[in-house]
Chains A and B, each alone.
Chain A
Amino acid sequence: TQLLEQSPQFLSIQEGENLTVYCNSSSVFSSLQWYRQEPGEGPVLLVTVVTGGEVKKLKRLTFQFGDARKDSSLHITAAQPGDTGLYLCAGEGNTGKLIFGQGTTLQVKP
């Protein structure tokens, strides 16, 4: 069974701080996606990474796919209160199914 472990599970920081969220597995994924979910809403796709070592930037968010395609990280620079939410990583497994991590709840205090 392919699993994705996210860390940390909870993160509370002050506005302006930097943070990194990790998504790790012992399995290889053909692609990995990051979603953000706000309270009362469904997850919204932020980015998809496909190639080992790939780095993608979305404003203050930087996403990296590990060289071996087993792990990924999300780095946020100068976090804002609007970044508050649940961050989910999801990997496309060897059966074609999307496997989700348990999520990282981020709170950015003004």
Chain B
Amino acid sequence: ETGVTQTPRHLVMGMTNKKSLKCEQHLGHNAMYWYKQSAKKPLELMFVYSLEERVENNSVPSRFSPECPNSSHLFLHLHTLQPEDSALYLCASSARQLGNGGYTFGSGTRLTVV
């Protein structure tokens, strides 16, 4: 049990579909993150939420839309994705926005866009 739960674990979607990824943490952390992990590339930071407020949008295309309704839940809404968006999407949380305390990651959602 990692403390950060992501669903679904696997997702296959067509380019015209709309889907959402869900992340949930009950660690009492107040910062949550979305990362994209592609083969042979460093983890790419997509969005940062601190105290439910988006503090960073790392030049992510608008076909990715995050939502943080409360400090325990984070969503990533997907629509009209491209095949190059296929990747492992990781959610993480930390006790504060600065990374010193370490991040707790979920197991990720393996997304395939067809």
Contacts and interface: CB of A to CB of B under 8 A. Distances in A.
Interface of A: 4, 30-31, 33, 35, 40-45, 48, 50, 88, 90, 92, 96-98, 100-103
Interface residues of B, number: 25
B107 A98 contact: no
A88 B105 CA distance: 13
A57 to B, nearest CB: 17
Given A42-B4, A102-B41, A48 B100 contact: yes
Given A97-B45, A100-B42, A102-B40, A41 B108 contact: yes
Q: Which 10 A-B pairs have the closest CB atoms?
A: A42-B105, A98-B99, A45-B102, A100-B43, A92-B99, A102-B42, A96-B98, A100-B42, A31-B100, A43-B105
A41 B43 CA distance: 14
A45 B29 CA distance: 15
A42 B42 contact: no
A68 to B, nearest CB: 18
Given A42-B106, A45-B104, A98-B103, A88 B43 contact: yes
Contacts of A45: 102-104
A50 B99 CA distance: 11
Nearest to B105: A42
B92 interface: yes
Given A44-B2, A44-B105, A97 B99 contact: yes
Contact of A103 (B42, B102, B106, B108): B42
18 contacts: A31-B99, A31-B100, A40-B108, A41-B108, A42-B106, A42-B107, A43-B90, A43-B105, A44-B2, A45-B104, A50-B100, A90-B103, A92-B98, A92-B99, A92-B100, A96-B99, A98-B45, A98-B103
